[in-house]
């Protein structure tokens, strides 16, 4: 079955209500598999996201000889092999659509004794990898891509890595994490300095596995040569997945939704801050810490949103949530302006262009710019939108139907399974009038 033949069909109107627990956090699910595999002892994970991306990471470690039981209803048991227990895989590691898997594994595999080749699907094979291969080379790693700096990537084993001080030219949690994971195998200290804060799940989880990470302002550092000790991880619900329901509840009249057990890591809450600035009625309740990660229940009710100039300091904290926020902007009074988000052009798709095209197809005044978008709120008509195979774009436009005047059809939706399997069923239960079908 090709990915292009899954279509979402949406009837206009409706509202969202009830208590919802969305899929587990993708970033944390990836990292739990990686660190659990390298730890001494047995790591138990609950709430694991059974989406294609995190399963790509799980299958990569299985291919390198790690015994992993599950996932069964989000429960995974990893029999760790220690820092030097991975074995060469028999073939290439196919990471599908998952940029996180490929970028983080590039660092982790740089410290192994064997060679590995990593490939991806068409979308992943077009994504930029020099941002990691260049600093990894400074550490002594050998990671080779195509002449264009894209996958497939070949990692040569048996290199002696050395710690470096690296000032990142752009804010990227994947680059930071890749270098820290390589640093586990490097001689001396590896220190990464970021220009703006990005998600810190790697630093938190390393500490959860008993590895010392020093965080000082914008700098994270660790020394090589330590060990990881197995632990228990309860993966919080993914705030990126919760975002679709937050936006849906904010824009649809008479909505009232409680999103349960959502990760509210301070490096990820840009969407809450931005929606509140737009006038969204959002309450964060029952805050607690689970496995080193802050978690809360989030209540969202319908509200009249207004357009804003999105603060630049919130952009890295909401980078994955902008497709949904663009839909919120389309329903807001006045103009919303986003700048400083050029990173959106090199995600699973060029999210600025694909979102602008989709909004225009639904009658919304959306003007893409080099590093963002200008959106004038107004009526949303029915129409046909091409998601470009991008899961976040497909789910964002699904929520737009709550305020649309006609039916919306969304093409190329199969990749929703990369981050949010079960999205359609959960959205139906919450009140969205959505069906999916395969068109040959």
Catalytic residue numbers? 320
Residues 162, 224 contacting (CB under 8 angstroms)? no
d(CA 406, CA 250): 20
Q: What is the DSSP string of 321-368?
A: GHHHHHHHHHTSBSEEEE-S-GGGGGSSS-HHHHHHHHHHHTT-EEEE
User: What is the C-alpha separation between 395 and 401, in angstroms, rounded?
Assistant: 11
State whether residue 176 is helix, strand or coil. helix
**Using CA of residue 385, residue 390, residue 395, residue 396, what is the dihedral sign?**
negative
């Amino acid at each position: 079955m090709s990915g292009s033949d899954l279509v979402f069909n949406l009837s206009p109107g409706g509202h969202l209500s009830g208590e919802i627990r969305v899929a587990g956090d993708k970033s944390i699910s990836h990292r739990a598999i990686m660190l659990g595999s390298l730890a001494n002892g047995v790591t138990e994970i609950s709430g694991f996201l059974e989406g294609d991306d995190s399963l790509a990471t799980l299958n990569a470690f299985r291919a390198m000889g790690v015994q992993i039981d599950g996932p069964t209803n989000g429960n995974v048991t990893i029999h760790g092999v220690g820092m030097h227990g991975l074995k060469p895989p028999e073939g290439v590691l196919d990471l599908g659509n998952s940029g996180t898997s490929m970028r983080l594994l590039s660092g982790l595999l740089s410290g192994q004794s064997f060679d590995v080749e990593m490939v991806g699907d068409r979308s992943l094979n077009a994504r930029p990898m020099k941002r990691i291969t260049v600093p990894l080379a400074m550490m002594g790693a050998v990671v080779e891509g195509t002449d264009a700096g894209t996958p497939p990537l070949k990692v040569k084993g048996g290199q002696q890595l050395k710690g470096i001080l690296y000032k990142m030219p752009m804010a990227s949690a994947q680059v930071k994490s890749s270098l820290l994971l390589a640093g586990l195998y490097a001689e001396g200290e590896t220190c990464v300095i970021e220009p703006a804060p990005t998600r810190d799940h790697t630093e938190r989880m390393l500490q959860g596995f008993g590895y010392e990470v020093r965080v000082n302002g914008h700098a994270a550092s660790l020394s090589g040569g330590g060990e990881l000790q197995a632990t228990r991880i309860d993966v919080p619900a993914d705030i990126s997945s919760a975002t679709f329901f937050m936006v849906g509840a904010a824009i649809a009249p008479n909505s009232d939704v409680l999103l349960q057990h959502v990760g509210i890591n301070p490096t990820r809450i840009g969407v809450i801050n931005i929606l509140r600035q737009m006038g969204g009625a959002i309450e964060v309740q029952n805050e607690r810490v689970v496995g080193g990660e802050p978690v809360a229940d989030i209540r969202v009710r319908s509200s009249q949103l207004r357009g804003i100039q999105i603060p630049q300091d919130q952009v890295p904290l909401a980078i994955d949530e902008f497709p949904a926020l663009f839909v919120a902007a389309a329903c807001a009074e006045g103009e919303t302006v986003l700048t400083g988000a050029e990173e959106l052009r090199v995600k699973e798709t060029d999210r600025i262009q694909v979102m602008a095209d989709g909004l225009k197809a639904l009658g919304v005044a959306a003007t893409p710019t080099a590093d963002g978008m200008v959106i004038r709120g107004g009526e949303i008509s029915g129409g046909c939108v091409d998601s470009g195979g991008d899961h976040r774009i497909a789910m964002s436009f699904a929520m737009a139907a709550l305020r649309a005047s006609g039916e919306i059809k969304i093409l190329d939706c199969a990749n929703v399974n990369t981050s949010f399997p079960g999205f359609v069923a959960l959205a139906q239960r919450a009140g969205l009038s959505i069906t999916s079908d395969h068109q040959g």
